[in-house]
Structure 1
């Protein structure tokens, strides 16, 4: 991996560990970041979270220019944000959409992600462990493309 991996997180994920722990668990975003850094080893990693749609879009644009792979948990923007979708369509590397909860087992409003149809892969329902799987898969996908 020459350019690195971006892990981008959308609204309210800064409240992990406190926010609806029966759905999202007790693991904090800082603990998830540490897990991701351990999983990728020496590979360059940008790990970020924002509550602002425009900031997430700017970071996706940055990833388009600087990342080999992108893991994104758009959170609530998954279901309503055409601008996030349009930005993600510009990313040419492996794109993994990630959700902590199983969005398909939740209320109807959470079941249809706009991002899923353009993602290389979707991981949902594995809790915080989903991040570990996502970053490892992203690295594998980049290696497979380079081979």
Structure 2
């Protein structure tokens, strides 16, 4: 069974309430619950954290170095979260970066993303489905297969 860290950056605790026209109506609890269920179907286990404070996220990553891969949505830390970037990529495991929306559409084409160049998987603009897609791809990378779960599992 593979262990995957799921790291959620600033303001993602407000999913479903903050700019629902942009980020949707699902809460972080909804996303986490569905992702846990989906991970179980893939024989994977997830450990989650969300914080509005970069240092809390970095400390958590330092305490969870035994993971096989990472899904990270750096949110507001995307352009300048060097400590989080370093902590995540120092794990030397596959990393999937997920952005719920097309951040370039909202913040401009020149918006820097520290995480983009080194990500093994980079998903932007798929809504909260991006987390499930990231999990599928990480499963493929970790198992060396191209197995795709049935469409009913991809909710």
Taking structure 2 as the reference length, what is the TM-score of the superposition?
Answer: 0.85
Unmatched tracts of structure 2, length 5 or more: 146-155
Partner in structure 2 of residue 86 of structure 1: 86
Moved more, 134-143 or 107-116: 107-116
Question: Secondary structure of 1:122's match?
Answer: strand
Deviations 1:77-136, CA, capped at 9 Å, x for gaps = 011111112212202111000110111222228832111111111111011111111112
Partner in structure 2 of residue 69 of structure 1: 69
RMSD: 1.7
Q: 1:53 to 1:110 in 2, by over 3 A?
A: farther
> Contact 2:71–2:134 (CA<8 Å) still a contact in 1?
yes
Partner in structure 2 of residue 34 of structure 1: 33
Question: Secondary structure of 2:98's match?
Answer: strand
Deviations 1:35-81, CA, capped at 9 Å, x for gaps = 11111114221022111110111122234x21001000010001111
* Distance of 2:110 and 2:63 partners within structure 1: 27
Question: Secondary structure of 1:26's match?
Answer: coil
* Distance of 1:6 and 1:120 partners within structure 2: 15
Paired residues, number: 143
Partner in structure 2 of residue 22 of structure 1: 21
* Distance of 1:87 and 1:115 partners within structure 2: 11
Greater helix proportion: 1
> Contact 1:11–1:74 (CA<8 Å) still a contact in 2?
yes
Taking structure 1 as the reference length, what is the TM-score of the superposition?
Answer: 0.89
Partner in structure 1 of residue 134 of structure 2: 134
Higher relative contact order (CA 8 A, sep 6+): 1
> Contact 1:40–1:135 (CA<8 Å) still a contact in 2?
yes
